[in-house]
Chain A
Amino acid sequence: DAGITQSPRHKVTETGTPVTLRCHQTENHRYMYWYRQDPGHGLRLIHYSYGVKDTDKGEVSDGYSVSRSKTEDFLLTLESATSSQTSVYFCAIRDRGLDTEAFFGQGTRLTVV
């Protein structure tokens, strides 16, 4: 398996609290992504990064922010968690070269109560 670690793996948090999810890679890959997976919606791109400090919004970025201060770490922050953000969050990494495959982390199950 590619060297991707997501933390935490499970989290329960209260509405209105900030939450940060971490994705750590040991592959030195250029691209990093955050997706959420919900039944009936597949994988939806939240934010992605194409280098240190280079990030862009995906399809469902409202209520989320990201930071990438080092190649190996990509943080996803829910600024004020809402119940609609209850989901499974996947981080993915991809090497430079547009035909390269993405490798996925094990996912973080987040429940907002």
Chain B
Amino acid sequence: AQSVSQHNHHVILSEAASLELGCNYSYGGTVNLFWYVQYPGQHLQLLLKYFSGDPLVKGIKGFEAEFIKSKFSFNLRKPSVQWSDTAEYFCAVGGSGNTGKLIFGQGTTLQVKP
């Protein structure tokens, strides 16, 4: 069965600090991994995705994520956060089956202090 776990529920950082949000997944086959962001009062938007190839994926707004197959992890990173990065971040896993099932983690709320 597919599942995804985000370990950090609430993170508070000062501007210019580095960010790393953890994401671990469980799935027996080939996975597709995603990070989404939800700004206050808005719907989810894609930050980046991994399907195959280079395990280091770069996304929008300076975010990147690294797929480590041996650790079943897909952690999100940003070298220097800004106040505008304050949002909720979701990791998601899609399996390789034909049904397109897409499971999200519990989310991590990031608060960046100016």
Contact = CB atoms under 8 A, between A and B. Distances in A.
B-side interface mostly: loop
Interface in A74-113: 90, 92, 94, 96, 98-99, 101-102, 104-107
B114 interface: no
Contacts of A92: 44, 102
B90 interface: yes
A96 B49 CA distance: 16
A43 B101 contact: no
Nearest to A96: B100
A56 B99 contact: yes
Interface residues on B, range: 20 to 34
Nearest to B34: A101
Contacts of A40: 9, 106
24 contacts: A31-B102, A42-B90, A42-B104, A42-B106, A43-B107, A48-B100, A48-B101, A48-B102, A50-B98, A56-B99, A59-B103, A90-B43, A92-B44, A96-B100, A98-B32, A98-B95, A99-B32, A99-B51, A101-B34, A102-B46, A102-B102, A104-B45, A105-B43, A107-B43
